[in-house]
Chain A
Amino acid sequence: MDFSFSQDERMIRDMVRDFADGVLRPQVQEWERRGEFPLELIPRLAEAGLLGMSIPEAYEGSNLRTPSYCLAIEELARVSASAAVTVSVTNSVCGYPISRFGTASQKDKYLKRLARGQILGGFCLTEPGAGSDAAGIVTGYRRAAGKFILNGLKSWVTNAKIGSLFIVMATRDRRERGAGISAFLVESSFPGFSFGRLEDKLGLRSSATGEVRLDDCEVPVENLLGEEGKGLAIALHCLTVGRVGIASQAIGIAREAFEVARKYARERMAFGRPIASFQGIQFQLADMATEIDAARWLTLRAASMRDRGIIDFSKESSMAKLFASEMANRVTYRAIQIHGAYGYSKEYPVERYFRDARVTTIYEGSSEIQRLVIARQLLAETRSNAAD
């Protein structure tokens, strides 16, 4: 077994690192302070190919292998967790499902525009009354004269207001639970579509999250994604892939928090010595680095399983997401601890890493839901068959 990156993976990582340091870093502080998604960033992301990572080359994407995709998200998150989630959502729960489940004409219609950044995508599963219990959504649809008519309210939609293409999950009859749910490609220009309010969040301040309202929203029949009744399966499949992206986001945040903490520990003097000379600080740095590495290889394992064609890697994907997101919270907590009062100040960046890390244990399946997924598989298996 050889835990090393390929030439491609290295090049992709270095390229995204240069992009993040060159394009995002000079402005990230200001974007976060403003609390709005910087629209001027979209063409830059598209030029770099970051919006087409899960789109085939025939549609102007770069169709990256999953470990490379993870490294790209990680490098973005090191500098801006907000940019990373925007990119992750556009790729894993919009570009990817269309590439995988879309009809030829759906692909022709949307994929190039997504890859070019002419449209930004989103994913609408969560509702005010249904988050973890995805099969419990109440947004409904019915067929009428060559159209689907959708009604309901979607909440916590990443890329709300800035996106113009959303994959919306709706049910024909809520009593059917999962089996009644279908997925639709809904453009923000369709009659009956509108955006509600944006959330005022703890972290990811420059990522837009908000409501999508569907009031007799008219969706052409050809915009059904996949088969009718398969919407929840599509959503859950995409989230399995998305989770390695969110794990990578958590790792990126943690890496940056670790870097600034190490630097600070070397420079900050107390009792006449750099605090890095105290074993109590050294042990914290050692634990942080160890956990980051563990999370990273757990994530890359899940990613490589997907590329090896292992159909069900949901246990490994959930393990990666669970561990990486909890890890990022511990690491950013410690990064603040090492900074002392300065860590609590907005003058230093660590307080942001702490706030940004928080959401990673919640979205794309909370830690509790990841544990449910893992446990369900463990109990169905006769013996542990991790990784092969």
Chain B
Amino acid sequence: MELVVCIKQVPDTETRIKIAADGKSIDITGINWVVSPYDENALEEALRIRETKGEGGVAVMTLGPERAASALRSCLALGADRAVHLQDPALEGSDSLGTARALAAAIRRSRFDLVLVGQQGVGTDNSQVGPMLAELLDIPHVNVVTKLEIANGKIRAHRQIEGAVEVVECPLPAVVTAQKGLNEPRYASLKGIMAAKKKPLERLGLQDLGLDAADVGAAGARNRWTRLELPPARQAGKILDGEPEESTAELVRLLRDEAKVI
């Protein structure tokens, strides 16, 4: 079984985000870049499928700038067999659709049975690339999956819905988007890091993908970031001292007159 995992390199979830001088992007100085956590679940699932089947390969792909190669290397260190880096000036500034187009073109270059992606990319949190990929590849998809079984060319995917679990079956090839809880991602190992150095990391540009510059990157983007704002800073809490009767009365007064919530 041939597995493809699409990953995104994102700022460490503990990063204190600052807005850049242009007012519509984040300031990337000093950011620690990591693989988006949901993508780690996607990769872990692919590795487990390969390990239980005892055959097949895991290809990991990303669209991103030069620095994103380190995210691919860490996936190779975790056990992926090969990596594909989509990198081209014309791809910069891609929105979800542009990203999905580029990834779909890269995926189509070889045989595949299952594509796994994180259900959202931490930071931008659009949850769009997975479903768009499935549309572009013209195959079914199941998203926000918490458990995955594969048998006889079909998948059974479990999804958490309000108050219940929904079980969806669909034929392969398919796209599955991974939710936290799908699995517990493994830790890398020193041996894995050493072995990763010998694994192939292929770079593909616009021409290799056979794409038109007008459909991807900033040129093809259907949505644009016009402005970024930080959420309002949280006000310091207020502690009311005194006897319960007095402080409760004061609390009610404040909720009514100041916070205006009752």
Contact = CB atoms under 8 A, between A and B. Distances in A.
B188 A18 contact: yes
Contacts of A57: 191, 194
B10 to A, nearest CB: 15
A8 interface: yes
Interface in A255-301: none
A62 B187 CA distance: 16
A14 B187 CA distance: 11
B189 interface: yes
Q: Most chain-A CB neighbours within 10 Å: which of B73, B74, B190?
A: B190
B5 interface: no
Interface in A38-66: 47-50, 52-53, 57, 60, 62-64
Contacts of B190: 12, 15, 48-50, 52-53, 62, 64, 72
A11 B191 contact: no
Contacts of B73: 7, 11
A47 B74 CA distance: 17
B63 interface: no
Interface in A80-108: none
B194 A15 contact: no
B189 A49 contact: yes
Contact of A12 (B70, B187, B193): B193
B117 interface: no
Contacts of A49: 189-192
In the A-B complex, list the 4 residue pairs whose CB atoms are closest, starting with the nearest.
A49-B190, A62-B190, A15-B188, A49-B189
A48 B187 contact: yes
Given A7-B73, A11-B73, A15-B77, A62 B194 contact: yes
30 contacts: A8-B193, A10-B70, A11-B70, A11-B77, A11-B193, A12-B190, A14-B74, A15-B77, A15-B187, A15-B188, A15-B189, A15-B190, A15-B193, A18-B188, A23-B187, A47-B189, A48-B188, A48-B189, A49-B189, A50-B190, A52-B191, A53-B190, A57-B191, A57-B194, A60-B191, A62-B190, A62-B191, A62-B194, A63-B194, A64-B190
Interface of A is mostly: helix
A60 B194 CA distance: 11
A50 B189 CA distance: 8
Interface in A5-34: 7-8, 10-12, 14-15, 18-19, 22-23
Q: Most chain-A CB neighbours within 10 Å: which of B70, B187, B197?
A: B187
Nearest to A69: B190
Contacts of A15: 77, 187-190, 193
> Is the interface on chain A under 10, 10 to 19, 20 to 34, or 35 or more residues?
20 to 34
Interface of B is mostly: helix
Interface string B68-104: 0010011001000000000000000000000000000
A87 to B, nearest CB: 11
Interface in A280-332: none
Nearest to B70: A7
Interface of A: 7-8, 10-12, 14-15, 18-19, 22-23, 47-50, 52-53, 57, 60, 62-64, 72
Contacts, number: 49
A165 B197 CA distance: 32
Nearest to A64: B190
Interface residues of B, number: 13
A7 B197 CA distance: 11
Contacts of B194: 57, 62-63
B191 A18 contact: no
B75 to A, nearest CB: 11
Nearest to B194: A62
Q: Most chain-B CB neighbours within 10 Å: which of A8, A11, A19, A52?
A: A11
A360 to B, nearest CB: 24
Given A18-B188, A48-B187, 9 more contacts: A10-B70, A11-B70, A11-B193, A12-B193, A14-B74, A15-B188, A23-B187, A50-B190, A62-B193
Nearest to B188: A15
Interface in B22-80: 70, 73-74, 77
Contacts of A64: 190
A18 B189 CA distance: 11
A47 B191 CA distance: 9
A57 B195 CA distance: 10
Contacts of B187: 15, 18-19, 22-23, 47-48
Nearest to A14: B74
Nearest to A57: B194
A32 B70 CA distance: 36
A340 to B, nearest CB: 22
Contacts of B188: 11, 15, 18, 48
A7 B70 CA distance: 8
A19 B203 CA distance: 30
Contacts of B191: 49, 52, 57, 60, 62
Contacts of B74: 11, 14
B11 to A, nearest CB: 14
B201 to A, nearest CB: 12
Interface in B161-193: 187-193
A198 B145 CA distance: 51
A30 B127 CA distance: 40
Nearest to A115: B191
